[in-house]
């Protein structure tokens, strides 16, 4: 394999995507008893290697003596063509072992538009695409990640789907497999696995539909498997495995830096945000743990930047202490500390000012909507004054590059709300011209970026109708026409991609055949402009007799049974429904870090009560 591969590598773009052998990649001796796990990411190396979850699970699995976890990414199309031409099957990076020879192959579902890549990778590996066609010799195909919370569109391709955080449940699965490995029977293993909390085995369940296409019932059809799948979450992040090193790629990846995870969960309660609901409850790591993690990562990777990565990083209770520690110890060594998007307040600007001593980059804010009314609907608890005073302070301190993230197509949105985005862009620009500070930056650039809202399962907006492609296009055109300043740079998302994303985000099992058909037509890398082919997708829907509008264009009734309702993710459907009603009335819900808003999590699992912080702790 290695020799055949070496012949192809000089012919492809960025061959180092396929060679492995990076610093901190794992080499192990393999024996009879070794459980072989191939961790797959359905996108190219540069994207997949940037993902924190994969890094954690790769290191954690390899920490076990009885498991060897390797990696595989989607080969770019030039490499895929050569592999198919030369009959080279999909192989792992570490040992160039064909993926079909592994015990387990895992795929993380980060994005709906990567689903065709999974099918393509299974095909390239020579693994049966549908779970029902697999036998004792096939690897077990596991899916996990945020999109797995609505697993139904991809359920027929999975042997198992992990709902929730992977650390504990994967360990339990490995323990279970080691008792089955010598006398392996696919079905009896899956039956045993289905009894582990957080493991969903789709073939043990059956969906029935009403004449109008909505779900009628969803039942377990195998004895002794749970009716409801309860998600998994790690209770104590200070006592769970976190890597002390990361694989350091040779080629530049999307997030080419160390990532420090400060906490999981977010309690802001933004109503559009799926992560804010499914990753509950809030669990912070202690300052001591984070210092230790950061020291180890900086030492072992040689990276010049460490990014503080969490859903709303600025909310971390001990953020000032943590940034002080990192700056004191590492500023002299020119190791920069990175923050993702900032909270819109003075504290955030002060923090950014402190940590950007090493390397000064732009600032990113996410007001999400252009008017106060719209921000109240989505429960984004910021005001225009917050934003304007924050950017004004930033301009005073010398920043000249400000990015603003918005969404269009939000529920109840009118053109007035869209216009608010353009107006806000100009108000920010005006603030720059009003700045009289000596430190004022000579260059100014305001980047306004809109993504198109896609209603997601397990959010207060899971019932709403999604804007059509035409509606989104009109709003984007309005913003293009109304932000003509050369100092404002407007960027937007392809509404056709958002439309398909919406179909799969709230899709059901009927979509499996559409996915298969689209893959057969050659759809892959649908998230990339270069490869996305909307016409082929429409053909696939048509041929399979499925109307994509069924999933996006209707307002769902309050009592509709959803395809994902058999999953218990902790926050109750009743809470989501209440939040939806409050949204329509423009009523806010507080930050539940300080006062419980009764989302249901305190009743979810025995032994768990959310920690209530007092405001003085912040």
Residues near another protein (CB under 8 A): 6-7, 9-10, 15-16, 19, 21-23, 248, 250-252, 299-304, 333-334, 358-360
Angle at which helix 511-520 crosses helix 534-543, to 10 degrees, equals 130
Q: Which is nearer to another protein, 80 or 203 (CB)?
A: 80
The rounded distance, in Å, linking the Cα atoms of 156 and 610 is 36
Q: Which is nearer to another protein, 7 or 84 (CB)?
A: 7
24 phi-psi bin (left φ>0, alpha ψ -120 to 50, beta other): left
For the bound state, the minimum distance from the C-beta of residue 431 to another protein, rounded and expressed in Å, comes to: 22
Radius of gyration from C-alpha coordinates of the chain: 24
Q: Which is nearer to another protein, 23 or 574 (CB)?
A: 23
CA dihedral 545, 549, 554, 556 (to 10 degrees): 60
Q: What is the SS3 assignment for 377?
A: helix
Q: Are 152 and 564 in contact (CB under 8 A)?
A: yes
Q: Which residues pair with 364 in a beta bridge?
A: 403
Q: Which is nearer to another protein, 6 or 385 (CB)?
A: 6
Angle at which helix 115-125 crosses helix 77-85, to 10 degrees, equals 20
Q: Is the dihedral of CA 251, 253, 259, 264 positive or negative?
A: negative
For the bound state, the minimum distance from the C-beta of residue 342 to another protein, rounded and expressed in Å, comes to: 18
Question: What is the spatial order of strands in the sheet that 363-368 belongs to?
Answer: 363-368, 401-408, 445-452, 488-492
Q: Which is nearer to another protein, 22 or 474 (CB)?
A: 22
For the bound state, the minimum distance from the C-beta of residue 300 to another protein, rounded and expressed in Å, comes to: 7
The rounded distance, in Å, linking the Cα atoms of 497 and 510 is 20
Q: Are 403 and 365 in contact (CB under 8 A)?
A: yes
Q: Which residues pair with 567 in a beta bridge?
A: 229
Backbone angles phi, psi at 518, to 5 degrees: -65, -40
Where do we find the tokens 């806000």?
A: 424
For the bound state, the minimum distance from the C-beta of residue 539 to another protein, rounded and expressed in Å, comes to: 38
Q: Which is nearer to another protein, 2 or 529 (CB)?
A: 2
For the bound state, the minimum distance from the C-beta of residue 400 to another protein, rounded and expressed in Å, comes to: 11
Residue environment code for 161-198, b if the CB has 16+ CB neighbours within 10 A, otherwise e: bbbbbbbbbbbbbbebbeeeeeeeebeebbbbbbebeb
Find the helix or strand (DSSP H, E) in which 455 lies.
none
Q: Which is nearer to another protein, 360 or 521 (CB)?
A: 360
The rounded distance, in Å, linking the Cα atoms of 574 and 581 is 11
Q: Which is nearer to another protein, 301 or 351 (CB)?
A: 301
Q: Which is nearer to another protein, 195 or 359 (CB)?
A: 359
Residue environment code for 311-326, b if the CB has 16+ CB neighbours within 10 A, otherwise e: bbbbbbbbbeebbebb
For the bound state, the minimum distance from the C-beta of residue 24 to another protein, rounded and expressed in Å, comes to: 9
**Pairing of β 283-284 and β 263-264:** antiparallel
Q: Which is nearer to another protein, 15 or 146 (CB)?
A: 15
Residue environment code for 205-232, b if the CB has 16+ CB neighbours within 10 A, otherwise e: bebeeeeeebbeebebeeeebbeebbbb
User: Which is nearest to 243 in space by CA: 63, 67, 39?
Assistant: 63
Q: Are 438 and 484 in contact (CB under 8 A)?
A: no
CA dihedral 330, 336, 341, 346 (to 10 degrees): 60
Q: Which is nearer to another protein, 250 or 433 (CB)?
A: 250
The rounded distance, in Å, linking the Cα atoms of 237 and 561 is 34
The rounded distance, in Å, linking the Cα atoms of 260 and 309 is 6
Q: Which is nearer to another protein, 7 or 611 (CB)?
A: 7
Q: Which is nearer to another protein, 398 or 600 (CB)?
A: 398
Q: Which is nearer to another protein, 79 or 155 (CB)?
A: 79
Where do we find the tokens 């039942």?
A: 219
Q: Which is nearer to another protein, 251 or 561 (CB)?
A: 251
For the bound state, the minimum distance from the C-beta of residue 475 to another protein, rounded and expressed in Å, comes to: 36
Displacement of CA 193 from its chain's centroid (Å): 25
């Amino acid at each position: 394999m290695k020799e055949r591969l070496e012949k192809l590598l000089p012919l492809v773009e960025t061959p180092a995507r396929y060679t492995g052998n990076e610093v901190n990649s794992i080499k192990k001796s393999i024996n009879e008893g070794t459980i072989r796990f191939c961790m797959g990411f359905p996108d190219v190396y540069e994207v997949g290697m940037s993902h924190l979850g994969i890094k954690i699970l790769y290191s954690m699995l390899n920490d076990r003596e009885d498991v060897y976890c390797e990696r595989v990414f989607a080969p770019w199309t030039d490499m895929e063509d050569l592999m198919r031409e030369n009959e080279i099957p999909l192989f792992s990076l570490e040992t160039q072992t064909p993926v079909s020879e592994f015990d387990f192959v895992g795929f993380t579902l980060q994005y709906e538009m990567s689903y065709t890549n999974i099918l393509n990778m299974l095909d390239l590996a020579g693994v049966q695409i549908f779970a029902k066609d697999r036998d004792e010799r096939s690897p077990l195909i596991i899916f996990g990640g945020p999109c797995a919370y609505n697993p139904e569109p991809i359920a027929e391709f999975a042997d198992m789907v992990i709902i929730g955080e992977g650390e504990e449940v994967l360990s339990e699965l490995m323990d279970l497999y080691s008792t089955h490995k010598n006398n392996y029977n696919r079905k009896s293993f899956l039956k045993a696995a289905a009894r582990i909390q957080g493991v969903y085995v789709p073939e043990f369940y059956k969906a029935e539909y009403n004449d109008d296409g909505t779900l009628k019932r969803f039942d377990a059809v195998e004895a002794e498997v749970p009716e409801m799948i309860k998600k998994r979450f790690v209770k104590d992040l200070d006592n769970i495995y976190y890597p002390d090193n990361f694989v350091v790629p040779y080629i530049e990846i999307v997030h080419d830096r160390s990532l420090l995870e400060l906490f999981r969960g977010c309690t802001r309660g933004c109503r559009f945000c799926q992560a804010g609901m499914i990753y509950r409850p809030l669990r912070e790591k202690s300052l001591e743990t984070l210092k230790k993690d950061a020291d180890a990562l900086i030492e072992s990777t040689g990276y010049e930047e460490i990014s503080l990565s969490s859903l709303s990083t600025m909310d971390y209770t001990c953020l000032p202490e943590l940034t002080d520690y990192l700056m004191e110890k590492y500023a002299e060594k020119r190791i920069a500390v990175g923050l993702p998007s900032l909270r819109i307040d003075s504290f955030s600007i002060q923090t950014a000012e402190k940590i950007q001593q090493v390397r000064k980059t732009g600032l990113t804010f996410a007001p999400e909507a252009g008017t106060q009314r719209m921000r109240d609907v989505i429960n984004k608890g910021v005001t225009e004054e917050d934003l304007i005073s924050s950017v004004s302070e930033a301009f005073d301190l010398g920043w000249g590059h400000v990015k603003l993230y918005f969404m269009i197509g939000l529920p109840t949105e009118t053109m007035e709300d869209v216009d608010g985005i353009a107006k806000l862009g100009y108000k920010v620009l005006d603030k720059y011209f009003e700045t009289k500070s000596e430190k004022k930056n000579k260059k100014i650039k305001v980047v306004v970026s809109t993504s198109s809202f896609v209603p997601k399962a397990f959010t207060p907006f899971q019932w709403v109708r999604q804007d059509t492609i035409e509606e989104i296009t009109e709003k984007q055109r309005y913003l293009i026409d109304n932000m003509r300043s050369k100092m404002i740079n407007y960027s937007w998302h392809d509404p056709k991609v958002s439309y398909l994303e919406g179909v799969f985000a709230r899709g059901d099992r009927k979509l499996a055949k559409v996915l298969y058909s689209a893959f057969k037509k050659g759809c892959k890398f649908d998230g990339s402009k270069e490869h996305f082919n909307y016409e082929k997708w429409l053909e696939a829907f048509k041929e399979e007799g499925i109307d994509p509008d069924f999933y996006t264009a209707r307002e769902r009734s309050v009592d509709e049974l959803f395809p994902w309702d058999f999953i218990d993710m902790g926050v109750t459907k009743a809470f989501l429904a209440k939040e939806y009603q409050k949204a329509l009335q423009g009523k806010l819900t507080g930050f539940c870090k300080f006062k419980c808003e009764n989302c249901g999590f305190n009743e979810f699992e025995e032994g768990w009560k959310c920690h209530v912080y007092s405001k003085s702790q912040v």
